[in-house]
């Protein structure tokens, strides 16, 4: 949790100078990146001119994923941290026993973001499609899991399957392939009733005792490839990388080289030398 908190604090620091610089540079619609005392990195923002629009809870200065008013009893997904270097953000996904896999997929996917492959989901109930011989995904400490189930008030399902039967999908955690997003099709084949919660795997993919539950990592991208002009939107000193998006289309990301900070976008803060 520590580095999430740290990152969050970093983004809470006002970036007024750079914001007004970006606003003044013109060239297209203005994107307001302020939510109360919080400034989010480009391409996120809270006005129609922003490529990826978020909602703002002004009372707590908290960015939230655009709220879809159907399905899972009005869960809002707060953005806990952004990492412009990896083009990822961490959002909350509180334990729930009434959030189906398609609901979770819909809530956590957008035109320019999707759940990253470093996120592990815990599915429960039914799971008739699970292939036992393919090996269990991963194990969770029993006390941790029972606490999660208690928090979510999970009841045994109709056919008497134990409420504590939880399947963990960590397929992508151990193997970093080129594709960076969660494969929902695979999860849907397991036919589980709901997505209990999720976790984000650290780089070592070990089951560290500090593993945080109730959070998911989403990756974001901008439309178009670096080659077809998309890269022009990256700052001159940023790197443009093509990325395969969940729809199968290619998108791109702007990133700063090691030692530089910023969102890498010419319409945002670009890349600049850190203050440390
Ligand atoms: C809301 O939650 C209740 C109880 O947890 C559940 O029975 C109901 O299906 C949920 N509604 C939706 C739309 O998910
Ligand atoms: C952001 O992502 C980069 C690349 O994955 C990583 O090296 C860095 O530690 C991350 N920063 C934070 C604060 O987590
Ligand atoms: C990018 O393309 C997707 C469809 O492929 C669309 O839903 C989304 O709004 C586009 N994003 C921007 C910023 O134009
Ligand atoms: C209950 O559900 C489980 C998992 O879907 C299934 O394996 C089992 O056969 C079911 N039991 C009954 C009595 O239907
Ligand atoms: C289950 O997994 C095993 C081992 O990976 C595989 O050989 C088998 O075909 C799978 N069965 C089904 C029904 O997917
Ligand atoms: C990772 O995935 C690649 C491609 O799917 C495969 O060739 C490789 O053996 C995998 N590595 C591990 C450690 O599973």
Per-residue DSSP letters for 86-144?
A: TTEEEEE----SS--HHHHHHHT-BTTEEEBTTEEEEEEEE-TT--GGG-------HHH
- The ligand 4 atom at the shortest distance from the C-alpha of residue 191 is 5
The pTM is what? 0.75
Q: Which of 268, 217, 221, 229 is nearest to 249 (CA)?
A: 221
Q: Quick one: 202 and 96 in the same domain?
A: yes
pLDDT at position 92, please? 92
Kindly state whether residue 47 falls inside one of the protein's structural domains.
no
159 pLDDT above the threshold of 60: no
106 pLDDT above the threshold of 50: yes
pLDDT at position 32, please? 94
Kindly state whether residue 13 falls inside one of the protein's structural domains.
no
What tokens appear for 156 in the block?
């045994």
pLDDT at position 129, please? 72
pLDDT at position 65, please? 92
Question: Ligand 6 — pocket residues by CB below 6 A?
Answer: 175, 177
Question: Ligand 2 — pocket residues by CB below 6 A?
Answer: 3, 7, 83, 85-86
CB of 161 closer than 6 angstroms to any ligand 4 atom: yes
Instruction: Taking residues 58-81, report their average pLDDT.
Output: 79
Q: Which helix (H) or strand (E) holds 84?
A: none
Q: Quick one: 198 and 96 in the same domain?
A: yes
Kindly state whether residue 155 falls inside one of the protein's structural domains.
yes
pLDDT tens digits for range 223-264: 999 987 766 789 988 999 999 999 999 999 999 988 899 999
- The ligand 6 atom at the shortest distance from the C-alpha of residue 177 is 2
**Which range, of 15-19, 53-57, 174-178, averages the lowest pLDDT?**
15-19
Q: Which of 112, 143, 130, 128 is nearest to 45 (CA)?
A: 112
Kindly state whether residue 60 falls inside one of the protein's structural domains.
no
Q: Which of 70, 61, 55 is nearest to 106 (CA)?
A: 70
Kindly state whether residue 217 falls inside one of the protein's structural domains.
no
Decide which of 9 and 212 is more confident: 212
Q: Quick one: 186 and 115 in the same domain?
A: yes
Q: Quick one: 140 and 189 in the same domain?
A: yes
pLDDT at position 7, please? 35
112 conformational bin, left if phi > 0, alpha if psi -120 to 50, beta if neither: alpha
Q: How far is the CA of 166 from the centre of ligand 5 (A)?
A: 20
Question: Ligand 5 — pocket residues by CB below 6 A?
Answer: 131, 133-134
Q: Quick one: 96 and 184 in the same domain?
A: yes
Decide which of 12 and 224 is more confident: 224
45 pLDDT above the threshold of 80: yes
Domain boundary among 209, 233, 262: 209
Kindly state whether residue 166 falls inside one of the protein's structural domains.
yes
- The ligand 1 atom at the shortest distance from the C-alpha of residue 153 is 5
Per-chain mean pLDDT for the chain: 76
Q: How far is the CA of 256 from the centre of ligand 2 (A)?
A: 12
173 pLDDT above the threshold of 90: no
pLDDT at position 194, please? 82
Domain boundary among 209, 234, 255: 209
**How distant is the alpha carbon of residue 187 from its chain centre?**
17
Q: Which of 202, 218, 248, 228 is nearest to 86 (CA)?
A: 218
Q: pLDDT > 90: what percent of the chain?
A: 37
**Which range, of 81-90, 156-165, 193-202, averages the lowest pLDDT?**
156-165
Q: Quick one: 205 and 126 in the same domain?
A: yes
Strands 34-35 vs 38-39: parallel, antiparallel or unpaired:
antiparallel
Domain boundary among 165, 185, 209: 209
Task: Name the residue range of residue 196's domain.
Answer: 92-209
Decide which of 199 and 250 is more confident: 250
Residue with CA at minimum distance from ligand 2 atom 11: 83
Q: Which helix (H) or strand (E) holds 159?
A: none
Number of structural domains, the chain? 2
pLDDT at position 274, please? 78
CB of 159 closer than 6 angstroms to any ligand 4 atom: yes
Q: pLDDT > 70: what percent of the chain?
A: 67
**Ligand 5 mutation target, pool 127, 132, 134, most atoms within 8 A of CB:** 134
193 pLDDT above the threshold of 50: yes
Query: Band of the pLDDT at 59, cuts 50, 70, 90?
Result: very high
Q: How far is the CA of 196 from the centre of ligand 1 (A)?
A: 13
């Amino acid at each position: 949790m520590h580095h999430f908190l740290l990152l969050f604090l970093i983004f809470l620091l006002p970036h007024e100078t750079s914001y007004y610089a970006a606003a003044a540079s013109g060239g297209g619609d203005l994107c307001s990146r302020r939510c109360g005392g919080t400034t989010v990195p480009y391409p996120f923002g809270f006005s129609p001119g922003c490529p990826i629009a978020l909602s703002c809870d002004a009372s707590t200065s908290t960015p939230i994923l655009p709220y879809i008013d159907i399905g899972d009893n009005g869960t809002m997904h707060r953005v806990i941290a952004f990492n412009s270097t990896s083009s990822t953000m961490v959002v909350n996904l509180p334990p729930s026993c009434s959030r189906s896999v398609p609901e979770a997929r819909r809530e956590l996917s957008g035109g320019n973001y999707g759940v990253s492959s470093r996120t592990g989901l815990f599915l429960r109930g039914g799971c008739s499609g699970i292939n036992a011989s393919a090996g269990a995904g991963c194990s969770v400490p029993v006390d941790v899991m029972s606490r999660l189930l208690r928090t979510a008030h999970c009841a045994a399902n109709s056919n008497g399957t134990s409420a504590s039967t939880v399947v963990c999908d960590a397929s992508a955690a151990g193997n970093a392939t080129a594709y960076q997003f969660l494969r929902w099709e695979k999860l849907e084949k397991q036919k589980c009733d709901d997505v209990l919660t999720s976790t984000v795997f650290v780089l070592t993919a070990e089951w560290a005792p500090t593993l945080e539950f109730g959070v998911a990592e989403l990756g974001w991208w901008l439309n178009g490839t670096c080659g077809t002009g998309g890269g022009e939107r990256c700052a001159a000193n940023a790197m443009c990388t093509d990325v395969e998006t969940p729809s199968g289309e290619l998108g791109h990301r702007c990133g700063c080289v090691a030692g530089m900070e910023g969102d890498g976008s010419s319409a945002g803060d670009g890349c600049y030398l850190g203050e440390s």
